[in-house]
Amino acid sequence: MNKKITDKIDLVIEDILNIQESIDFDTSDTSEYDLDSIITTLMELKGQLLCEEVESEKINLDEI
């Protein structure tokens, strides 16, 4: 299950990077809502999933 989720996270990250390239997105904004922050959050989530030995049913996004 975690493998499926991490694969989906990789696809979302790839899509976000493609969007940034295709629209020449300004990544200098440091708000928590910019695309770079989203990528960082997704990578942290992926890292957390990869470190889990036992799969959990839910991941609390507030802890990330």
SS3 for the chain is: CHHHHHHHHHHHHHHHHHHHHHCCCCCCCCCCCCHHHHHHHHHHHHHHHHHCCCCCCCCCHHHC
Tokens representing residue 1 in the block: 């299950």
- The pTM assigned to this predicted structure is 0.56
Stretches where the chain sits below pLDDT 70 are: 1, 24-33, 53-59, 64
Return the half-sphere exposure (C-beta side, CA atoms, 13 A cut-off) of residue 3: 0
Per-domain boundaries in the chain: 2-54
Residue 48 CA to residue 20 CA, distance in Å, equals 25
Percent over 70 (pLDDT), the chain: 69
